Amino acid sequence: MTLNSDIEKSFIENEIIGLIIPSVKYEEILIMITDILSKNYDKILYISINKPCESLVSGLKKRKIDTDRFHFIDCITRTKKNMLSTENCTYISSPGALYEIHYAILDVLRKQEIDAALIDSPSSLLRYYEHMDVLKFMHLLTTELIVSRCKGIFPFRKESARQVRRSIEMFADKVIDIDAGSEFSV
């Protein structure tokens, strides 16, 4: 069984999934996960803490991933330029605006039928907040996802996951620790 099929099976069997990914393969595996989501779910919420929506969409389109299935929450673009939210993207003032991020997620979950949500990456919030604040945010988010009957995928870089690993295990139905030598296809 390949990493792709293991992850796909885990998405079907579990509501909240934590993924511990080696930094060296983080971007590649994140693209693979995004591809799996786009093939298995009608509407996906992609919460990006540190990548602009424009570059995310461009990269996904290059990989022939259907970006029309996604609604993005972009926490970084408005730190550099003023952007108005669009039909498929909600712009947040900064990654340091946790309340605003939380409200935007709630708004999208209430207004759209979201099947799965991917947050890239909760550990990035540790640059702006204390561990307990991120922990509370993750708890609220997982609760909202479960109530909304929405799958939750929380990828973490292995090197940054040490601080939040126990937190992931508290909230996730399953945690997948991906080995740097794992075979997968993008």
Each residue's pLDDT tens digit, 148-180: 999 999 998 887 767 676 777 788 999 888 876
Residue 185 lies in a domain: no
Q: Is residue 182 in a domain?
A: no
183 domain residue, yes or no: no
How large is the average pLDDT for residues 4-22? 85
Q: Residue range 73-100: average pLDDT?
A: 87
- Evaluate whether residue 186 is within a structural domain: no
pLDDT tens digits for range 34-77: 999 999 999 999 999 989 999 999 999 999 999 999 999 999 98
Which domain, by its residues, includes 97?
3-177
What is the domain-level CATH number for residue 48?
3.40.50.300
Whether 183 shows a pLDDT value over 70: the answer reads no
Q: Given this model, what pLDDT does residue 17 score?
A: 92
Asked if the structure places residue 117 within a domain, the reply is: yes
* Residue 132 vs residues 36, 97, 112, 129, 139: alpha-carbon distances, Å: 31, 16, 29, 8, 10
Q: Please write the tens of the pLDDT for every residue from 119-143.
A: 998 888 888 888 889 889 989 999 9
For the chain, the straight-line distance linking the first and the last C-alpha, in angstroms and rounded, comes to: 15
* pLDDT value for 165: 67
In a domain, residue 100? The reply is yes
Residue 90's CB: how many other CB atoms inside 10 A?
23
CA neighbours within 13 Å on the CB side: how many for 158? 13
Contact present, 144 and 105 (Cβ < 8 Å): yes
- 61 vs 182 pLDDT, higher one: 61
Highest mean pLDDT among 17-21, 122-126, 182-186: 17-21
Global pTM reads: 0.91
Rounded average pLDDT over 101-113: 94
pLDDT average, residue stretch 97-105: 94
184 domain residue, yes or no: no
Highest mean pLDDT among 14-28, 103-117, 149-163: 103-117
Domain-located, residue 135: yes
Number of domains in the chain: 1
